[in-house]
Amino acid sequence: MSGNQWIIFFFIIQLLHGLATWKLYIKAGRKAWEAFVPVYNAVILMKIINRPWWWTILLFLPIVNLILFPVVWVETARSFNKNSTQDTFLAIVLLGFYNFYLSYGAKDLKYRENRSLHPLTELGDWVSSILFAVVAATIVHTYFIQPFVIPTSSLEKTLLVGDFLFVSKVNYGARTPQTTVAVPMIHDAVPGTTVPSYIKKPQLPYFRLPALEEIERNDIVVFNWPVDTLVDINNPYGEVRYKPVDKKTNYVKRCVGLPGDSLSIKEGYVYINGKKNELPDRAKLQFFYTVILKNNVSQEFLDQYGITEYTRVFQLKKSIFENEKIQQYIKANGINLTVVSDDGDMVAFKGNVSQDMYDKLKINFSDKALNINLTEELATKIKSNPNVVSLKKDLSTQPENDIFPRTPEYSWNKDEFGPIYIPQAGKTVDLNLEVLPLYKRIITAYEGNTVDVKGNQILINGEVANTYTFKQDYYWMMGDNRHNSQDARMWGYVPFDHVVGKPVFVWMSWDSNGKGLDKIRWSRLFTTVGGEGKPTSYFIPFLVVLAGIFAFNKFRKRKKKTA
């Protein structure tokens, strides 16, 4: 729904409310006209049902109001002595239209001015407490702090798989929900199912509250995955499925490119405006390396250096590998193989070997070679090991099909990319067929225009266009785990309206590979995400403060008893 449609809808609701309740306002000692004045009528209604005025604010908060409206409908009925289970049921099921019956059909209706608000039954007390807790939690979750769990290793060494985070929404400004009907605090699907936790329409216009700060370079950011609407991620202009922005999958990456930057990647390193991007000291870049050992690869070697991410290297007899038919088969099927070592008898190689190829050629795994994911610091240590013959960083040298913008004109890969311009709100760029692939999704999917190409002409919304002015800021998000991260190199820019918040705190960290109590990474509990140096755990101070509060409350209760 557009802004104008929402305004019309709002006034229709206000009119219906007035028609349904003006007689009830009179019975409560108010004026009939007060039932028709937008917002003011809600303030007066709160007085009538003996509830605080600030409930009016909650009625205008999306998602929260879904919980509060039924409460207000029931409270209105009870304020006029309609306390039965049937009255409660009808007030909720009829979506507030039960007020028409109270005004025009109910007989001997009397207003209870000073009715007790305390629930009459234990069940009612439980329901009241649960509703209050859900409302409070929904407000915090939507506008202040949202929990988030790290699912992948793309920011390994800074954020670990199994870290439980608190994500601040106030730092970059909290977005008001665009999806108006949804299960509170459930993001995408009902847990344990694929059933959506929301109804796609109606949608509110995008709005963001004032921010405490702007996104800075190298900030870790949680955002909605921009291409979550694509049926096939490998086809950015193919079939799409509608998904509200605020219900797209949450991702977390490091922002390395800001609006207005010129960004390029050389040998896996990011360059901004021609200068190499310097990461904070907590950030540790990781790349895949191929290591060849004198002795066989062992678990002891992996444990010695804490290596957890690795893949095996294939090997095949040289006579088979260099066979003309085999080489033709490899080229015909677009199989990218890189030779790691050749001892004259066996060839060790890596690449995208299919199960069919593996079985037919009777390929084996090399006993002395391995692909391992390392920080540069760890790579230096391993290189000095006398058991290591060679250690080489696996940098891409060929064009890759899954790299943005996924068109033949741009022969980039994950290690050699750009340069590209990061769009900035209000800035204008020249538009031609060469740069169109870089900006087409921005113009169409993110900024709501149509793009057509006729010959050498580009038409935006049916009109010839040689330039384009961006409506919002865009960012470039990447993982520190450069060879194991699904990030902007694959799907491009992140619009600012997709930004969710800033991770600020790790309150729990779970290692699924640990045993017993070691499953909990105790040193990471209650640590900050940002900052310099090694993260400091505030878990023990938290326990001390908690114990102090508990002891103080117990002392105060005992003192009251003796007084």
Residues serving a catalytic function are 154, 253
The CA distance from 534 to 536, in Å, is 6
- Spatial separation of the C-alpha atoms in residues 418 and 269, rounded to whole Å: 12
Q: Name the CA dihedral angle for 406, 408, 412, 417, rounded to a multiple of 10 degrees.
A: -70
Helix crossing, 40-48 with 3-27: angle to 10°? 40
* Cβ–Cβ under 8 Å, residues 514 and 160: no
Integer Cα distance of 64 and 105 in angstroms: 31
Count of residues making up the chain: 563
Contact 444, 450 (CB under 8 A): yes
Q: In whole angstroms, what is the distance from residue 188 CA to residue 184 CA?
A: 11
Q: For residue 381, report the phi and psi dihedrals to the nearest 5 degrees.
A: -65, -45
CA dist 338 → 313, 315, 443 (Å): 10, 11, 39
Closest CA to 285 of 379, 411, 186: 379
Strands 463-464 and 467-469, sheet pairing? unpaired
Would you say 479 and 499 are in contact if contact means Cβ atoms under 8 Å apart? no
**Which residue matches tokens 């033949």?**
408
Burial class (CB in 10 A: 0-12, 13-18, 19+), 547: exposed
Neighbour-count burial for 515-546, b at 16+ CB within 10 Å, e otherwise: eeeeeebeebbbbebeeeeebebebeeeeeee
Cβ(79)–Cβ(110) under 8 Å?
Answer: no
Tell me the Ramachandran region of residue 467: left when phi exceeds 0, alpha when psi lies from -120 to 50, beta otherwise: beta
Tell me how crowded residue 228 is: count the other CB atoms within 10 A of its CB.
Answer: 19
* Max Cα-Cα span within the chain: 102
Q: Which of 466, 462, 468, 439 is nearest to 450 (CA)?
A: 462
Spatial distance between the Cα atoms of 491 and 488, rounded to a whole number of angstroms: 5
- CB contact set of 264 (below 8 Å; sequence gap of 6+): 270, 271, 417, 418, 419, 420
CA–CA separation, 308 and 370 (whole Å): 12
d(CA 377, CA 430) in angstroms, rounded, equals 43
Roughly what angle, to the nearest 10 degrees, separates helices 40-48 and 64-78?
A: 50
- CB 65, CB 42: distance < 8 Å: no
